[in-house]
Amino acid sequence: MESHEKKSLSEADIKAKFITPAIVSAGWDEMTQIRREVTLTPGPVVVRGNLSSRNKKKKKFADYVLQKEKGVPVAVIEAKDNNHTVSDGMQQALGYAELLDVPSAFSSNGDGFSSHNKTAGPGQDIETEFGMDAFPSPDELWQRYMTFRGIKPAEEALVTEPYYDDGSKKEPRYYQAEAINRVVEKVAQGDKRLLLVMATGTGKTYTTFQIIYRLWKAKKVQRVLFLVDRNILADQTLVNDFKPFGSVMTKIRNRKIDPAYEVYLGLYQSLTGPYEEDKIFKSVKRDFFDMIVIDECHRGSAKDDSAWKEILEYFDCAIQLGLTATPKETKYASNITYFGEPVYTYSLKQGIQDGFLAPYKVVRVDIDKDLQGWTPPAGMTDDLGNEIERR
């Protein structure tokens, strides 16, 4: 194609005629490994009075995300029309690579590729340019990813286990995929105590389901206990996010652990109590569960005398994953002391900036007692029978 003809093509034409064919020719599967026009973040929600709108100009949108398996991204590509230089999209590509925590970023205008390799060693160029017929193969970029993330060959099978796909084309959001991958990688490396911090409303339960599903499907774990502190949470989890487990899943009822199942949902109150006969978790062997997930672990499991803590200590051979939106760090209780530093954190601030959460405002309501004070009536006494001073 003549140069002037190429410059008249739109960005969509450049992708269809030059970039996509070049990626496919390098061995990438167009159906499973190449994701196109991927919305990473929808853009922040802007609130003005009682009205709200989304700032779509700050939407983050990658032209291509290349993945080893579903949910395991390894590279991003930013495309430009032929009136731009080969490297004009690199800054955008680097931003998306940072978001996805991948080592490879590329930019192209249809004449060639500009490449940024975060794993370049001594004597190697971090940034290079090459022709359209020299795009790296899936194996090459996967090896680069493994080096970047510290994944060893023996761990590869587990970290590439696909996530659950119900056929609806729903995929984890970028931060959910990163949280899932980080936990799975740590488990593959032999870590047993893990802490995941995700803001309320960002899909902790869905993320947890995908973590458990991948480990369970890969036969890394067989029996899993998901601990919650409210009955409604167990019921919602049972019929919503964890529903695909179907007949292998049960909710612990009537203070009995039925060994016929593989995924158990339970309230810690139904597993333990102040008396030895209440501690039904001891009715099974210490190696009965391969994994225990503690939802909202800041509410108690960090304390040395917590009921949750004794369950964790009994099943100390199991992989233990703590979930929280607000890690507790006080003189008397610490999530980090027990679980270690979070393997991944997605904060409230980041969720608002990305647009997955809406900004909020605090409305202060003062009741009359706050504003005017309160005076006890004449003759009123305290719990010990002493008359309260009238002031």
> 144-182: per-residue pLDDT in tens?
999 999 999 999 999 999 999 888 878 899 999 999 999
CA angle 12, 17, 22 (to 5 degrees): 115
Cα–Cα dist 59/74, whole Å = 21
| Alpha-carbon radius of gyration of the chain | 26
User: Strands (DSSP E) along 5-50, which ranges?
Assistant: 34-41, 45-48
> Among 140, 163, 320, which Cα is nearest to 226's?
320
Q: What would the mean pLDDT of 237-249 be, rounded to a whole number?
A: 94
Cα–Cα dist 226/217, whole Å = 17
> Please, are residues 315 and 192 in contact by the beta-carbon 8 Å criterion?
no
Q: Can you give the pLDDT at residue 277?
A: 84
Q: Can you give the pLDDT at residue 332?
A: 45
Cα–Cα dist 303/214, whole Å = 30
Binning pLDDT at 50, 70 and 90, where does residue 198 land?
very high
- Give, rounded to a whole angstrom, the gap between the first and last alpha carbons of the chain: 92
Is residue 306 pLDDT above 80, yes or no? no
Q: Can you give the pLDDT at residue 301?
A: 45
Cα–Cα dist 377/206, whole Å = 54
CATH of 3-150 given 1.10.3980.10, 3.90.1570.30, 2.40.110.20, 1.10.357.10? 3.90.1570.30
Is residue 328 pLDDT above 70, yes or no? no
DSSP, res 179 = H
Decide whether 3-150 matches 155-354 in CATH topology: no
> Over 217-247, what HEC string results?
HCCCCCCEEEEECCHHHHHHHHHCCCHHHHH
Comparison of pLDDT for 3 and 251, the residue scoring more: 251
Please give the mean pLDDT across all residues of the chain: 90
Burial class of residue 386 in the structure, from the number of CB atoms within 10 Å of its CB (0-12 exposed, 13-18 middle, 19+ buried)? exposed
Binning pLDDT at 50, 70 and 90, where does residue 335 land?
low
Q: Can you give the pLDDT at residue 329?
A: 54
CATH of domain 155-354: 3.40.50.300
What is the percent of the chain with per-residue pLDDT over 70, rounded to a whole number? Answer: 94
Cα–Cα dist 283/271, whole Å = 10
Burial class of residue 353 in the structure, from the number of CB atoms within 10 Å of its CB (0-12 exposed, 13-18 middle, 19+ buried)? middle
> Among 106, 117, 113, 120, which Cα is nearest to 134's?
113
- Which pTM value belongs to this model? 0.86
Cα–Cα dist 34/28, whole Å = 7
What is the percent of the chain with per-residue pLDDT over 90, rounded to a whole number? Answer: 66
What ranges do the domains of the chain cover? 3-150, 155-354
| Orientation of helix 204-217 relative to helix 174-188, angle to 10° | 40
> Please, are residues 25 and 135 in contact by the beta-carbon 8 Å criterion?
yes
- Residue 366 neighbours by CB under 8 Å, 6+ apart: none
Is residue 304 pLDDT above 60, yes or no? no
Is residue 237 pLDDT above 60, yes or no? yes
Cα–Cα dist 273/280, whole Å = 9
pLDDT tens for 73-109 read 999 999 999 999 999 999 999 999 999 999 999 999 9
> Please, are residues 325 and 197 in contact by the beta-carbon 8 Å criterion?
yes
